[in-house]
Amino acid sequence: MELRQQTSLTRTCYGVDHQLEACPMNRGIFITGTDTGVGKTVVSAALTIGLQRQGRHVGVMKPIETGISASNVMRSDAARLRNLTASEIPIEEISPYRFTLPLAPLAAAQAERRVIDPGKIRKAYRLLAGQSDYMVVEGAGGVFVPIAPRIDVADLIARLRLPVVIVGRSGLGGINHARLTIEALHRRNIRIIALVLNQTVPVRTKTARVQEQTTVDLLQRTAGVPVLGPLPYQSDVTQRFKHTVTRMAQSEIIKNLTQLVLGIDGESH
């Protein structure tokens, strides 16, 4: 489906209608992870709500999503993000590439004999960005996940020219994954706004608490970027997604993240 071209001569910039040429350049953020299943969608959703509470008209995008069939598309990450914006934009525009098999994007595309075109994603992003003040784009997996031959997620981020928020695990193993991701992005000269640590499993034992605290402490000293968190484990996030992320958006962690994101180019309130 072709993306709808914007036909109005005005657009809403921070709650006020302006002529298109009078609008500031759209701003956006790319949410990536140190791995799959680390909480990118939860952080993307909570940040979307946080930005909305700061008066921003937020657009969302999940360019590539796997493990999505025709019967469960409305339960996809892209659909969850779209529902937070009360948008009527078709899901095909928010998520240009969806694949049935729960594989890495390149493998999922090859299984369906399709090719992911970063140029198509960039075009989709620019058209969606023209209808919002701020874009939140959620990636797939980590930065080295291939999406096409010789093209990975980091390449896509560079082509979109977006700064990054990294989401990582707060427990054992989180240090190495986070620092590798940070180094990979620095090598591509991609700006990192923050590392957000998330509890992907309940922290129930004394050993687990020590592991988490030392992970957080060491990353705060060695990461070289702002480190936020950990966000608490959310057992009901799948069943009560909107309620959970709305509550999370009220936390100091997401409020601080929102201010860091809005601080890009001196835009913070």
Residue 5 has a pLDDT of 36
- Domain assignment present for residue 22? The answer is no
- Domain assignment present for residue 4? The answer is no
- Domain assignment present for residue 96? The answer is yes
- Domain assignment present for residue 11? The answer is no
- Domain assignment present for residue 100? The answer is yes
Residue 75 has a pLDDT of 83
Total tally of structural domains belonging to the chain: 1
pLDDT one-digit tens code per residue, 167-202:
999 999 999 999 999 999 999 999 999 999 999 999
Read off the CATH number of the domain in which 133 is found: 3.40.50.300
- At how many degrees (to 10) do helices 77-85 and 40-53 cross? 10
Report residues of the chain scoring pLDDT below 70. 1-26, 265-269
User: Is 120 tagged catalytic?
Assistant: no
> Catalytic pick from 62, 123, 206, 242?
62
Residue 26 has a pLDDT of 56
Query: Cβ distance 138 to 41 under 8 Å?
Result: yes
Residue 237 has a pLDDT of 87
Cα–Cα separations (whole angstroms), residue 148 to 108, 116, 189, 243: 10, 6, 21, 36
Residue 14 has a pLDDT of 34
Strand, coil or helix: 217: helix
Q: What is the pTM of this model?
A: 0.88
- Domain assignment present for residue 147? The answer is yes
- Domain assignment present for residue 14? The answer is no
Query: Cβ distance 64 to 116 under 8 Å?
Result: yes
Print the domain residue range for 131.
28-263
Query: Starting from the edge strand earliest in sequence, which strands make up the sheet with 227-231, in order?
Result: 58-61, 134-142, 27-33, 164-169, 192-198, 227-231
- Domain assignment present for residue 159? The answer is yes
Query: Cβ distance 152 to 142 under 8 Å?
Result: no
